[in-house]
Amino acid sequence: MKAARWHNARDIRVEEVEEPKAGKGKVKIKVEWAGICGSDLHEYAAGPIFVPVQEPHPVSKDVAPIIMGHEFSGQVVEVGEGVTKVKVGDPVVVEPILRCGECPACKKGKYNLCESLGFHGLSGGGGGFSEYTVVDEHMVHKMPEGLSYEQGALVEPAAVALHAVRLSKIKPGDKAAVFGTGPIGLLVIEALKAAGASEIYAVEVSKERLQKAKELGATSVINPIEEDPVQKLHELTDGGVDVAFEVTGIPAVLQQAIDSTAFEGETVIVSIWEKEAGIQPNNIVLKERNVKGIIAYRDIFPAVMELMKRGYFQAEKLVTKRIKLDDIVAEGFETLIKEKDQVKILVKPE
């Protein structure tokens, strides 16, 4: 079968690999649509981050080159011995977290904080940028009736956004700012709308993405090239937002997000970082602000799909391009780097 494999930064190749089989407790999926994630883009542009290169990943036991793609939907085509959660023919999405099941976090059910955290499609074990992939039964969620495969490919990134908002201190009626309106930032805006935020401010340099932010529920937008976002947010909110979400991974923006909050405000860091970011701790201390990080999600895929049934996180508003697997580098990764008006690119692995 064909698969897109990461060999090194700026070196992803579509190659022929052996088609996997479903062993005991495993589910084989024919991939229908797979999304290119910001994390994939980081691996392509400046990796490795999650890709194992020196030592095999402790859960997948794989080392680069690895098949990429962790946002995907598909149809079950084979089930291994003992599988009861799904059957052949079921439409499914995959929750791609690899966890050990034995560390303190896993034992407390917080598997996204696993000491050996990895992702199917980033850390080995197969991935969605292939015609078929095999995963553990617990990673599979059957899609409810009425959700398309395109919609299914957005469940994983929407889960990141919903988890970020759920773990924040946001309450109905609160004011929030979202720094960065790439795919995850836009989904955070929708999750904030679902959570009842009264005012949602989007901070972004791309005019096209600011327009998309308004379409998806931002009540006001700020271009930091044209005005100081911290000053503007304090003016608009009479003292700062209740919660700021940092979704850019740009060091200078982290300080802006912190400074945009009111006293006792909160900043939630959603980004994965390529390098260190310096901040002034006094800006946190003197206002008794909080800064917290979130990674991925846990126990949230069913809730995401229920919200999708109610009209949130809709593919027709977020998908800007659909491509074939053979074109994933030129029309996918390179396009996302060059064209800031792109939101979500979906890949058809056939």
Q: Where are the domains of the chain?
A: 2-142+314-348, 159-293
Identify the residue whose tokens are 């698969």. Answer: 3
Give CA–CA dist 79/99, Å, rounded: 21
pLDDT at position 340:
82
Tell me phi and psi for residue 57, to 5 degrees: -65, 135
pLDDT at position 9:
94
For residue 156, which of 304, 349, 329 has the smallest C-alpha distance? Answer: 304
CATH code reported for the domain at 159-293: 3.40.50.720
Give CA–CA dist 135/90, Å, rounded: 14
Task: Reduce the DSSP state of residue 123 to 3 states and report it.
Answer: coil
pTM over 0.85: yes
pLDDT at position 329:
98
pLDDT at position 274:
82
Amino acid 77 reads: V
Tell me phi and psi for residue 184, to 5 degrees: -70, -40
Question: What are the E-state strand segments in the chain?
Answer: 2-8, 11-16, 26-35, 66-67, 71-79, 91-94, 97-98, 118-119, 132-136, 140-142, 175-179, 199-203, 220-222, 241-246, 261-269, 290-293, 319-324, 344-348
pLDDT at position 341:
84
Q: Which two tokens stand for residue 296?
A: 């991925």
Q: Give the chain's residues under pLDDT 50.
A: none
The tens digit of pLDDT for each residue in 205-225 reads 999 999 999 999 999 999 999
Superfamily of domain 2-142+314-348: Medium-chain alcohol dehydrogenases, catalytic domain (3.90.180.10)
